[in-house]
Amino acid sequence: MRKRNSLKYLSVMTWLTTPLLLSGCGSALMDPSGQIGQGLKSLIITAFGLMLIVVIPVIVMTILFAWKYRGTNLAAKYTPNWEHSNIIEVFVWAIPCVIIFFLAVLTWQTSHSFDPHKPIASEDETMTVDAISLDWKWLFIYPDEGIATINELAIPVDKPVHFRVTSGTVMNSFMIPNLGSQIYAMAGMDNDVYLEGNEIGTFRGRSTHYSGEGFSEMLFDAHVTSDADFQAWVDKVKQSPDTMMFPEDYERVAKPSIANPVEYFSQVSPDFYGDLIKSYKAGHGGTDSHGEHNEARESSMPMSAQAAE
């Protein structure tokens, strides 16, 4: 009896404390700042609500059936030969099919309307930032401003940003959860995503694709600022004595490092991003996850494969 009472008290305490334990949990996807993030949040909530149309009745019916047909309820109707009901079949199959249809239409429409490659409609001119994933850090190139940073990003509020994304090593995935979509970064591939921050603040960016030992530290701060603060930040970066020229400076920066501190570069090669992409097409770009130049991999290829390239 004591054991049963203890289990009852434990169950009650669990129900009472669970909301308190979960009250500190948060999700960037549920607290978006950008237009894309808000659209994805709406999609998640709508899809969740539609699925609850099936889940909630099943939970309620499970509890009711267990209570009604319990062993001590002698008034429950006993029908051992029952095997089929057209009404039940209609509810079991028709409702889920209708929900799946609406989910399919909703997902199709939102997937196209929030296509990461689709420019964001705005009266402001779209800004370009190049995001290059390395081991294990992010290199950001601002071609119009002529600057570069490592593990720090700044963009003006309410201004669409076109991120051109590639990798100098293995596959990674670029994402700022509060702003919206993620996009893959692959060596030699020119990918892109459009994002916009509608709220001033600092948001955490990350790689969402495992890429080795330092993956958990592959984080950066994305600052959404006013136009004046953004210009002040650009001026601060331009005071750095370091430069980012391709390939000499890039090869030094591309060496693997974990929890790399923020770095600023006051000058950048005129077409840094394009030169990096071209270097892969030429067969000798970037470094691998061990910091070795990719020419070593080319030299290990069969002669026939090298001749084909």
* 27 against 246, higher pLDDT: 246
Report pLDDT for 163.
96
| pLDDT at 233 > cutoff 50 | yes
Q: How is residue 68 written in tokens?
A: 């009604």
* 84 against 303, higher pLDDT: 84
Nearest to 163 by CA among 197, 201, 200: 197
Please state, for a pLDDT cut of 70, what percent of the chain lies above it.
Answer: 81
**Residue 287 corresponds to which amino acid?**
T
Confidence of residue 292 (pLDDT cuts 50, 70, 90): very low
Contacts 24+ apart (CB under 8 A), 92-100: 95/53, 95/54, 96/54, 99/50, 99/51, 99/53, 99/54
| Neighbour-count burial for 131-159, b at 16+ CB within 10 Å, e otherwise | bbbbbbbbbbbbbebbbbbbbbbbbbbbb
Q: How is residue 233 written in tokens?
A: 């930040």
Report pLDDT for 120.
87
Name the superfamily (CATH) of residues 127-288: Cupredoxins -  blue copper proteins (2.60.40.420)
A 10 A CB-CB count for 285 gives 22
Alpha-carbon span 207 to 170, nearest angstrom:
12
Alpha-carbon span 215 to 220, nearest angstrom:
12
111-115, 205-209, 253-257: which range is least confident on average? 111-115
| pLDDT at 86 > cutoff 80 | yes
Q: What is the pLDDT of residues 58-83, one digit of tens each?
A: 899 889 888 888 888 888 787 778 88
| pLDDT at 125 > cutoff 80 | yes
CATH of 29-76+85-114, one of 1.10.287, 1.10.132, 3.10.20, 1.10.8: 1.10.287
Enumerate the domain spans of the chain. 29-76+85-114, 127-288
Mean pLDDT to the nearest integer, 43-48: 84
Mean pLDDT to the nearest integer, 206-227: 93
39-53, 171-185, 202-216, 281-295: which range is least confident on average? 281-295
Alpha-carbon span 272 to 202, nearest angstrom:
27
Report pLDDT for 297.
35
Listed in sequence order, the residues at least 6 apart from 250 whose beta carbon sits closer than 8 Å to its beta carbon are 168, 244, 272, 276
Mean pLDDT to the nearest integer, 270-286: 81
Q: Tell me the CA distances in angstroms from 50 to 11, 93, 286, one per residue in order.
A: 30, 15, 46
Report pLDDT for 239.
95
| pLDDT at 139 > cutoff 90 | yes
Report pLDDT for 107.
84
| pLDDT at 216 > cutoff 70 | yes
Mean of per-residue pLDDT scores for the chain: 82
Report pLDDT for 255.
93
| pLDDT at 149 > cutoff 80 | yes
Q: What is the pLDDT of residues 155-212, one digit of tens each?
A: 999 999 999 999 999 999 999 988 888 899 999 899 999 999 888 999 999 999 998 8
Alpha-carbon span 268 to 161, nearest angstrom:
19
Alpha-carbon span 286 to 277, nearest angstrom:
9
Report pLDDT for 115.
83
149-163, 178-192, 264-278, 289-303: which range is least confident on average? 289-303
3-state secondary structure string, the chain?
Answer: CHHHHHHHHHHHHHHHHHHHHHCCCCCHHHCCCCHHHHHHHHHHHHHHHHHHHHHHHHHHHHHHHHHHCCCCCCCCCCCCCCCCCHHHHHHHHHHHHHHHHHHHHHHHHHHHHCCCCCCCCCCCCCEEEEEEEECCEEEEEECCCCEEEECEEEEECCCCEEEEEEECCCCEEEECCCCCCCEEECECCCEEEEECCCCCEEEEEEECCCCCCCHHHCEEEEEEECHHHHHHHHHHHCCCCCEECCCHHHHHHCCCCCCCCCEEECEECCCHHHHHHHHHHCCCCCECCCCCECHHHHHCCCHHHHHHC
